[in-house]
Amino acid sequence: MQAFDTFNPPTRLLMGPGPSNAAPTVLTAMANPLLGHLDPSFIQMMEEIKSMLRSVFQTKNEMTFPVSGTGSAGMEFCFVNLIEPGDEVVICINGVFGMRMADLAERCGAKVIKVEAPWGEIIRPEQVKEAVAGCSPKLVALVHAETSTGALTPVETISQIAHEAGALMLLDTVTSLGGCEVNIDGWNIDAVYSGTQKCLSCPPGLAPVSLSPKALETAQNRKTKVQSWYLDVNMLSGYWGSERVYHHTAPISMNYALHEALRLILEEGLQARWERHHQNHLRLVEGLKSLDLGIASQEGHQLWQLNAVTVPEGVDEATVRQRLLADYQIEVGAGLGPMKGKIWRVGLMGESSQAKYVDRFLEAMTTILKGS
């Protein structure tokens, strides 16, 4: 019989579109002994997670908790709970994740009205205004930070337009949360989801979500049952709320990890954390200049935590990425869709957003591109 060795992963510096590196104490938190999912100590910790999540999302929403699953599970949670067959939904698409939202809304039976911008650019408020004028939307959905292109779309005006049209506003904050300002109550967002693996310095596995009282009411007063048993908020709230009834077994160790990750974020301070991401982005852009490399996404709306670095003429994008990984243990991402082969996606997310890592990446790129 074949014998297998224990798996020992190499140590990589994760500077791609996610996952990013986890904070060391987040990883040690995961090695703690398991508790039962109804253990009073675990329940106490769940309460702390909800409270810390409200601080990080900047919301007072009671219905704020982590869904079991990755960021996409958070996306699915929002759509399956809020959408019923025949609903009109405006989806803003300027990259991969807007396309995923449109796919999900269609699977829920929605009539999807698409608002599209070229990849790398932001969604303009006038586009949304035009779209909502032509239908009676139940929901407007927007990706805050498009990880596939490196563009950050301003949210406030679009949210205002959605509400004036009588719609709920849904926001994807998978890559923005913990890396730049996210203000759920200040921006009047009704439904939001995120993921642990981008700027929260935590492994993939949980999707923090939050629903406003209005969104929750929408989910509670549906004509039809939520199509997903696993993601039905009416059942999940029985476990994450005060009743504590069993729905599915919470991923215990992942919740330990998220607790520690959120604790670290609040210890650092939201403003200080955003500023760290900003400064390391500026350091990267400055260093790239001396290599004659620029950022491909729209000027003035470039993400700090995900940099779409332009591949110069005559350079093979994939070869550079492979050398970064093989020779320097650095992972960066490739371009997707229309940006395939044209950009490298360099993530400076959470624990991976550090000046020393920016410098290590720039040194490696200098050697690879200048040849030696």
Ligand X SMILES: *Cc1c(COP(=O)(O)O)cnc(C)c1O
Q: Which listed range, 116-124, 143-151, 183-191, 274-282, lies at the site for ligand X (CB under 6 A)?
A: 143-151
If one asks whether residue 137 binds ligand X (CB under 6 A), the answer comes out as: no
Closest to ligand X by CB, 129 vs 301, is: 301
**Interface with ligand X in residues 70-109 (CB under 6 A):** 70-72, 75, 97
In terms of Cα–Cα distance, which of 162, 210, 206 is closest to 185? 210
Stretch that binds ligand X, among 29-37, 80-88, 167-175, 295-303 (CB under 6 A): 167-175
Helix, strand, coil fractions of the chain, as percent rounded to 5: 40, 15, 40
Q: How many residues bind ligand X (CB under 6 A)?
A: 16
Strand partners, 113: 90
**H or E, element range at 308:** strand 306-310
Minimum distance from residue 89 beta carbon to ligand X (Å): 17
Helix, coil or strand: residue 55? helix
- Tell me which of 76, 84, 88, 172 binds ligand X, using CB under 6 A: 172
Compute the least distance from the CB of residue 96 to ligand X, in Å: 8
Which residues from 22-81 bind ligand X, rule CB under 6 A? 70-72, 75
**Interface with ligand X (CB under 6 A), residue from 13, 14, 15, 18:** 18
Beta bridge partners of 191: 170, 211
Residue 347: beta bridge partners?
306
Residue 86: Cβ within 10 Å count: 11
- CA distances 6 to 3, 9, 38, Å, are 10, 10, 32
CB of 17 or CB of 368, closer to ligand X: 17
Q: Which of 68, 94, 147, 297 binds ligand X (CB under 6 A)?
A: 147
In the complex, the smallest distance separating the C-beta of residue 306 from ligand X, rounded to whole angstroms, is 8
CA distance 139 to 132: 10
Residue given tokens 């074949």 in the structure block: 2
Alpha carbon distance 101, 105 (integer Å):
6
When asked if residue 297 is in the footprint of ligand X (CB under 6 A), the reply is no
> How far apart (Å, rounded) are the C-alpha atoms in residues 283 and 56?
25
* Residues from 208 through 237 that contact ligand X (CB under 6 A): none
Distance CA 350, CA 22 (A): 8
Region near ligand X per CB under 6 A, out of 57-65, 195-203, 326-334, 357-365: 195-203
- List the one residue out of 202, 128, 122 whose CA is nearest residue 158: 128
Minimum CB–partner distance for residue 66 and ligand X (Å): 12
Stretch that binds ligand X, among 8-16, 123-131, 191-199, 315-323 (CB under 6 A): 191-199
Q: Is 143 in the site for ligand X (CB under 6 A)?
A: yes
Residue of this chain nearest to ligand X (CB atom): 71
Q: How many CA atoms lie within 13 A of 128 on its CB side?
A: 30
User: Which residues make up the interface to ligand X (CB under 6 A)?
Assistant: 18, 70-72, 75, 97, 143, 145, 147, 172, 174-175, 195, 197-198, 204
